[in-house]
Amino acid sequence: MSKLTWGMIGGGEGSQIGPVHRICSALDARFAMTAGALDADPAKGRDFAMRLGIAEDRCYGDWKDMLAGETSRKDRIDLVTVATPNATHYKITKAFLEAGIHVLCEKPMTVTVEEAEDIAATAKRTGAICAVNYGYTGYSLVRHMRSMVARGDLGQLRLIVVEFSHGFHADAADADNPRMRWRYDPAQAGISGQFADCGIHALHMASYVSGQNARELSSDFVSTISSRKLEDDAMVNVRMDGGTTVRLWTSSVAVGSFHGFNIRVFGEKGGLRWAQQWPDQLYWTPVNGRTEVIERGSGNLSAEAERATRIATGHSEGMLVAFANIYADLAEAIAAKKQGRTPPPLACHYPTAVDGLRSIAAIRAAVESSRNVGAWVDARPPSLR
Ligand SMILES: NC(=O)c1ccc[n+]([C@@H]2O[C@H](COP(=O)([O-])OP(=O)(O)OC[C@H]3O[C@@H](n4cnc5c(N)ncnc54)[C@H](O)[C@@H]3O)[C@@H](O)[C@H]2O)c1
């Protein structure tokens, strides 16, 4: 089959996540980068797109021109990635879904629950795929954790402790840098800062691994740098619908934590521990037993883990392969749609608009709880209660 065609909105030169998408979409040679509206500055966006090798008539200055240009073509793009600041995700994603173009939207999918409900409903109505980039669930050993939990190795899950802490926004003197400032500006980021930026990755990871969703939560948000209107640190307790308790900490001022995304899962038969900075090892400790180190790519891992791994044990894969696994899943799903068949179940691991909706409802609940000194708040979206 010929390559699928892919476009991008946002992710311009110098952006944080743009290069990651370009590498990850290309890793398995399933997508060709064919169109882009890459920058808030139209001239810069067009110039960068041309330097990336996109045909001149598909280097757009603005996402609306790109929508009009692509929908007027017979060979319109199959998939668009939306990698702009949060407040723009809703209108761009909605417009492309309405045109029947599949979307991979960066997280958080929208700023409000109402918008998120609308995106989930639009994807359902149009039949276009709307995925959300919780790329860290693409790690091979994260998929293995999920399959260990699903097949009952841990028994009933009791607790999940999950942390996503970094210190990249800890310098008060740099807090006004525009690339950082928008994340704490309600007009561009929405009602939450660090929880919406990183905490929802952690909550989604807990959901993905456990197969459970947040039912209610209690939170404590703080802005440790006083000029920030939104929180840069949050502690959240979550009761999941399957009975498991999640303890979640997220921070952007945790100097020295680097990319401190760690999860521990405790069940009645044993515990698992995994850290994103050392993603090739998963630690499994059965109750009253010895700890076993499960190496990525070693024999007898689950089919989910094997599908998500590319190179032999001992060679690092890392984040680029994890995010590429989301693109690999999407390539399967889009190809299956084009051919009128059902995608293989192993390729159905990409996070969807419903996952995005659940996250936005959790953000709203966490903001409300924090404003009410940690009161327990229903974390479910209205349509899923
Ligand atoms: N999944 C992840 O792990 C992950 C990691 C980082 C960022 N993100 C998300 O990706 C998004 C972008 O974050 P970033 O860190 O790359 O931001 P950034 O500020 O580094 O880059 C944003 C880019 O979008 C462009 N842009 C802004 N408005 C635009 C518009 N209307 N049309 C076209 N381009 C526009 C900017 O010019 C810039 O190139 C955010 O929603 C963020 O939450 C996700």
| Tens digits of residue pLDDT in 23-81 | 999 999 999 999 999 999 999 999 999 999 999 999 999 999 999 999 999 999 999 99
Per the CATH hierarchy, to which homologous superfamily does domain 4-135+340-352 belong?
NAD(P)-binding Rossmann-like Domain (3.40.50.720)
| H/E element, 244 | none
pLDDT of 295: 97
Q: Whose C-alpha lies nearest to ligand 1, atom 28?
A: 40
Pocket of ligand 1 (CB under 6 A): 9-12, 15-18, 37-40, 63, 83-86, 88, 106-107, 133, 135, 179, 197
Task: State the distance from the centre of ligand 1 to the C-alpha of 11, rounded, in angstroms.
Answer: 6
Start and end residues for every CATH 3.30.360.10 domain found in the chain: 139-311+358-371
Q: Whose CA is nearest to atom 37 of ligand 1?
A: 39
Nearest to 12 by CA among 43, 58, 57, 55: 43
| Residue of 66, 84, 89 with the most ligand 1 atoms within 8 Å of its CB, for mutation | 84
Q: Is 131 helix (H, G, I), strand (E, B) or coil?
A: strand
Q: What is the pLDDT of residue 1?
A: 66
Tokens of 75: 């060979």
**Distance between CA atoms of 100 and 32, rounded to whole angstroms?**
19
What one-letter code names the amino acid at 370?
S
CA of 295 to the centre of ligand 1 (A): 33
Distance 88 CA to ligand 1 centre (A): 10
Sign of CA dihedral 109, 209, 28, 316: positive
- Nearest residue by C-alpha to atom 9 in ligand 1: 106
Q: How far is the CA of 158 from the centre of ligand 1 (A)?
A: 36
pTM above 0.95, yes or no: yes
**In contact, 245 and 203? CB cutoff 8 Å:** no
Which contiguous run of DSSP H or E holds residue 9? strand 4-10
Please tell me the residue having the least CA distance from ligand 1 atom 7: 17
A 10 A CB-CB count for 60 gives 24
Over the range 229-262, which residues count as b (16 or more CB within 10 Å of their CB) and which as e? ebbbbbbbbbbbbeebebebbbbbbbeebeebbb
| Cα–ligand 1 centroid distance for 15 (angstroms) | 6
Location of each CATH 3.40.50.720 domain in the chain: 4-135+340-352
In this structure, how many other beta carbons lie within 10 angstroms of the beta carbon of residue 56? 8
Spatial CA neighbour of 7 closest among 48, 40, 49: 49
Q: What's residue 177's pLDDT? A: 85
Task: Give the C-alpha separation, 209 to 19, whole Å.
Answer: 27
Residue among 65, 102, 110 nearest 84 (CA): 110
Report the C-alpha gap between 208 and 145 in whole angstroms.
9
Across 102-115, b (16+ Cβ under 10 Å) vs e yields bbbbbbbbbbebeb
CB 217 within 8 A of CB 366: yes
DSSP type of residue 341: S
Query: Which are the contacts of 53, defined by CB distance < 8 A and separation ≥ 6?
Result: 33
CA of 65 to the centre of ligand 1 (A): 19
Question: What residues in the chain have per-residue pLDDT under 70?
Answer: 1
| Best CA proximity match to 188, nearest among 40, 41, 80 | 40
Alpha-helix runs per DSSP H in 99-185: 113-126, 140-150, 178-181
Q: How far is the CA of 313 from the centre of ligand 1 (A)?
A: 33
Taking a C-beta distance cutoff of 8 angstroms, is the pair 25, 83 a contact?
no
10 Å Cβ neighbour count for 146? 22
- Nearest-angstrom CA–CA distance, 91 and 247: 33
For residue 129, give both structure tokens: 């795929």
139-311+358-371 is a CATH 3.40.50.720 domain: no
Residue nearest to atom 29 of ligand 1 (CA): 40
